[in-house]
Amino acid sequence: MFDETQNKIINATMNLIMERGYSSTTTKDIAISAGINECTIFRKFKGKKEIVLSAMELSEWNPELKESDFGYIGELERDLISFSEVYMKRVTPKMVKVSIGLRTPELYSDTANGILEVPLTFKKILVNYFSEMRDKIEGTDYENMAMMFLSMNFGFVFLKASFESHLTEIEKEDYIENSVKIFVRGIEKK
Amino acid sequence: MFDETQNKIINATMNLIMERGYSSTTTKDIAISAGINECTIFRKFKGKKEIVLSAMELSEWNPELKESDFGYIGELERDLISFSEVYMKRVTPKMVKVSIGLRTPELYSDTANGILEVPLTFKKILVNYFSEMRDKIEGTDYENMAMMFLSMNFGFVFLKASFESHLTEIEKEDYIENSVKIFVRGIEKK
DNA sequence: ATACTATGCAAGTGAATACTTGCACGAGGT
DNA sequence: ACCTCGTGCAAGTATTCACTTGCATAGTAT
């Protein structure tokens, strides 16, 4: 899909964007970081913007979630743990940093849709799941439950991405286990 | 504290930063948006960076949370609803947008501490609260509960700030009421 | 009336930035 | 041996940016 030089450029670009954001990332920095000459960038890509757009075609730099990634067996706790795990496998601190780094007017129209799609897909799956499990669940506001579950997963990843261990030492795995337990206890019928 | 012209400059600057981020906000744009001449900016402030630093001294542009803002009476649901309300009164979508707009290497050292302080303060209050309420709560992992509660509040505000009603129509007040109810049901002793 | 202050206006400066171009050179294929 | 292709290197261009300066002017205080 891309040759070795192009991959070096894409990786250098995205790593710099994660750290400093799109507009603070210069083509000179990219060249140095990729270990190539600046003009090579423009022989391989039309411009700075096209590097990012090319990166989006790679699953490594695109948080894309598919509905088919989520499977379940009908047991609340196990299913929700699995949902969290699948979500966090794609929506990593790295992805969060990338999507923040890309928040710039020059790229907005090209990236906004893809960024919205991730929480939207996850929410849809959750609403659908809760609705199917209605016999085991107290209450019927599935939209609200889905937003709560999404928020508590996304919020954790974001906070981890922003502050790492300065905020908390808790690891993803422990967090998922504990928070899902509380959540399930909070929604299940007695 | 600041004269009228300075306030116009600060407000224009921060509003632009919310939309486009610090490095994409030019002094020319600020001048136009504030309805003043560009050179006036540099008569009032040392430079672009100093505008932001001045804004931080105003509570309107600083999400600062104080422990003393949080009171409680010892009833889980009422207290946690009140915590969420206080949190979201300061940590608004606007504040979230500002803190994302400020994520740039030029400002990192000056803003990072203040940004970390908000979740840290809230978490501390929560851990402390859960620990005081231990008789009414099942389980003892207060750090984890606090991170879950923080995540589910912060996550919601962030998602609202990013996607507004494209992701969900749920309003803050409904969300707080419902999510706290589930959370309390999930942690309280039976 | 006079002086001072705040601001506008127009012009400009030096640095940085995205992007370009012409030439050289080395590796690989034929 | 020759050609092509990918890349490096050096120089350059046009633009934009933060920031500056000198002068004019209107409002305010004394």
How many alpha carbons fall within 13 Å on the CB side of residue B19? 12
Q: What average pLDDT is seen over chain A? A: 96
Confidence grade of residue A190 (pLDDT, cut at 50, 70, 90): confident
Fill in the DSSP letter of residue B133.
Answer: T
Q: Tell whether B123 lies on the interface with A, counting CB pairs under 8 A.
A: yes
Question: To which H or E segment does residue A55 belong?
Answer: helix A48-55
Q: Which of residues 43-82 of B touch A (CB under 8 A)?
A: none
Write out pLDDT tens, residues B84-114: 999 999 999 999 999 999 999 999 899 988 9
Q: Kindly list the distances between the CA atom of residue B51 and the CA atoms of A161, A188, B1, B43, B102, in Å, as whole numbers in the listed order.
A: 27, 51, 13, 12, 12
Contact with chain B for residue A111, Cβ under 8 A: no
**Percentage of chain A modeled with pLDDT above 90:** 96
- 3-state class of B137 per DSSP? strand
- Whether B167 and A123 lie within 8 Å, measured CB to CB: yes
**Does position B27 have pLDDT exceeding 90, yes or no?**
yes
**In this structure, are residues A130 and A83 in contact, taking their beta carbons and an 8 Å threshold?**
no
CA distance B149 to B180: 9
pTM of the model: 0.95
Within 7 A of a protein CB, which nucleotides of strand C?
A: 6-11, 16-22
Question: CB burial class (10 A; 0-12, 13-18, 19+) of residue A61?
Answer: buried
pLDDT above 90 for B190: no
Specify which residues A188 forms β-bridges with.
A137
pLDDT (tens digit per residue) in B106-125: 998 999 889 999 999 999 99
State pLDDT tens for residues B39-92. 999 999 999 999 999 999 999 999 999 999 999 999 999 999 999 999 999 999
- For residue A59, the Cα-to-chain-centroid distance in whole angstroms is 11
DSSP A156-168: HHHHHHHHGGGT-
CB contact under 8 A, A178 and B141: yes
Mean pLDDT of chain B: 96
Distance of CA A56 to the CA centre of its chain: 13
User: What does the buried/exposed string (b/e) look like for B17-34 if buried means 16 or more CB atoms within 10 Å of the residue's CB?
Assistant: bbebbbbbbebebbbebb
Per-residue pLDDT of A49-61, as tens digits, reads 999 999 999 999 9
Measure A45 CA to C29 C1' (Å). 26
Contact B189, A189 (CB under 8 A): no
B161-184 per-position pLDDT tens digit? 999 999 999 999 999 999 999 999
Nearest nucleotide, CA A49 to C1': C18
Q: Rounded CA gap, B188 and B190, in Å?
A: 6
Instruction: Find the mean pLDDT for residues A143-172.
Output: 97
Contact: A105, B19; criterion CB under 8 Å = yes
B170 has a chain A CB within 8 A of its CB: yes
**The pLDDT of residue B60:** 96
DSSP reduced 3-state for A170: coil
Residues A69 and A113: their CA atoms lie apart, in Å, by 20
pLDDT above 90 (res A82):
yes
**Contact assessment for residue A127 and residue A146, using Cβ atoms and an 8 Å cutoff:** yes
Give the angle B162-B163-B169 at the CA atoms, nearest 5°.
135
Q: Which residues of A touch B147 (CB under 8 A)?
A: 156, 159, 168, 170, 175, 179
Distance A13 CA to D8 C1' (A): 20
pLDDT in tens, A91-109: 999 999 999 999 999 998 8
Helix (H, G, I), strand (E, B) or coil at A188: strand
Average pLDDT over residues A74-89: 97
Q: What is the pLDDT of residues B145-155, one digit of tens each?
A: 999 999 999 99
Residues with CB under 7 A from strand D: A 3-5, 35-40, 43-44; B 25-28, 38-39, 42-43, 47-49
- When pLDDT is averaged across residues A145-167 and rounded to a whole number, the result is 97
